[in-house]
């Protein structure tokens, strides 16, 4: 297993945002995380990326205990993540944003620039290369986040609603991009509310509700699961697409 989370819990005061969550991801998989708002998906991601230290439980990546390791150590070992609310370096240009990621494996400026240019081409940001990140709009900034993480040469990418808020055409393009990333041999865990994305991309799905993993398995089975339908409360398991937070 590439990534293993054992009974991970995260509480804020008395409130458990994540409780006893288990997840194992094999090399080359695409795993989807679904669940209603506030279910604990992003909090779980933060634990996996070292952005939050779990209250209890254990996280193992490639045989190493990463439970308490800082985010920069996660990046070095090959865990990359995007943020639900894009956290691009606003005043910096698109290429400079990607270069910050590229510098992790390419300390020299020229090499980092070459690597970043390749990634920019791959992610379809070439036309906006010299624009400031803040001029991009949310979909563009989400794409830039993907590019930036990709530039760190990750083995595992954690995508937190990176495909939210796109038009249907943009969505198809983004799905193609995720596929391309997967074909590069990168393992992916993706949080998404859009069922279409989960159904087409994920080989396996975990459903969260109120901090608990309430179901897991093949996507077509999970969306039929009683508990999952219950959690989405009548919104209809096939129509849980909603605007991004």
Partner 1 sequence: MNKIPALSPTVLLAVALLIYPLIFSGAFYLDVGVTFLLAAISASAWNIVGGYAGQVSVGHAMFFGLGAYAPLLCYKLYGWTPMAGIPFGIAASVALAILIGIPTFRLTGHYFSMATIAVAELIRIYFGTWDLVGAAIGLQGPATARGWWDLTFRSELPYYYIFLTVLAVLLSFTYLMERHRFGYYLRAIKVGERAARSLGVPVQQTKIRALVLSAMFTSVAGSLYSVKTGFIDPESGFGILVSVQMVIIAALGGAGRLYGPLIGALILIPLQTATNTWFGGGGTGLTFIVYGGIIVLIARYEPGGIYDLWEQISPRRWRRKHAS
Ligand X SMILES: Nc1ncnc2c1ncn2[C@@H]1O[C@H](COP(=O)(O)OP(=O)(O)OP(=O)(O)O)[C@@H](O)[C@H]1O
Check binding of 42 to Mg ion (CB under 5 A): yes
Window contacting partner 1 (CB under 8 A); options: 1-9, 100-108, 160-168, 171-179: 100-108
Site for ligand X in 63-102 (CB under 6 A): 84
Residue count, binding to ligand X (CB under 6 A): 12
Check binding of 140 to ligand X (CB under 6 A): no
Check binding of 234 to partner 1 (CB under 8 A): no
The angle that helices 94-102 and 109-122 make with each other, rounded to 10 degrees, is 120
**79-81: strand order across its sheet:** 79-81, 156-160, 187-191, 30-34, 204-209, 212-217
DSSP character at residue 10: E
Longest dimension (CA), the chain: 55
Window contacting Mg ion (CB under 5 A); options: 28-36, 79-87, 125-133, 171-179: 79-87
E-strand stretches of 43-177: 56-61, 64-65, 79-81, 156-160
Question: What phi and psi, each to the nearest 5 degrees, are found at residue 9?
Answer: -125, 145
Burial label for 182, CB within 10 Å (0-12, 13-18, 19+), is middle
Helix, coil or strand: residue 38: coil
**Closest approach of partner 1 to the CB of residue 177, in Å:** 19
Rg for the chain, CA atoms, rounded:
17
**Closest approach of partner 1 to the CB of residue 150, in Å:** 11
Check binding of 3 to ligand X (CB under 6 A): no
Tokens for 180? Answer: 């391309």
Site for partner 1 in 64-93 (CB under 8 A): 70-72, 74-76, 80-81, 83, 87-92
Check binding of 138 to partner 1 (CB under 8 A): no
Query: Which residues lie near partner 1 (CB under 8 A)?
Result: 49, 51, 70-72, 74-76, 80-81, 83, 87-92, 96, 99-101, 103-104, 107-109, 112, 148-149, 152
Query: Which residues lie near ligand X (CB under 6 A)?
Result: 12, 17, 35, 37-43, 84, 245
Query: Which residues lie near Mg ion (CB under 5 A)?
Result: 41-42, 84
């Amino acid at each position: 297993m590439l990534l293993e989370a054992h009974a991970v819990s995260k509480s804020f005061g008395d409130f458990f945002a994540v409780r006893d969550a288990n997840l194992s991801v094999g090399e080359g998989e695409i795993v989807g995380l679904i669940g209603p708002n506030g279910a604990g998906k992003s909090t779980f991601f933060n634990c996996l990326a070292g952005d939050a230290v779990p209250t209890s439980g254990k996280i193992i990546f490639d045989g190493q205990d990463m439970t308490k390791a800082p985010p920069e150590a996660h990046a070095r070992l090959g865990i990359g993540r995007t943020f639900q609310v894009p956290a691009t370096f606003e005043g910096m240009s698109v290429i400079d944003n990607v270069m910050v990621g590229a510098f992790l494996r390419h300390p020299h400026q020229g090499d980092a620039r070459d690597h970043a240019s390749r990634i920019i081409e791959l992610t379809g940001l070439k036309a906006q290369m010299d624009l400031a990140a803040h001029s991009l709009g949310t979909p563009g900034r989400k794409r830039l986040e993907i590019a930036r993480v990709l530039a760190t040469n990750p083995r595992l990418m954690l995508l937190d609603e990176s495909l939210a808020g796109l038009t249907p055409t943009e969505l198809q393009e983004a799905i193609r991009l995720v596929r391309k990333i997967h074909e590069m041999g990168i393992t992916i865990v993706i949080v998404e509310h859009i069922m279409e994305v989960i159904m087409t991309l994920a080989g396996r799905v975990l459903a969260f509700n109120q901090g608990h993993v309430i179901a897991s398995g093949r996507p077509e089975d999970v969306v039929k699961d009683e508990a999952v339908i219950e959690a989405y409360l009548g919104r209809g398991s096939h129509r849980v697409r909603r605007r991004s937070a």
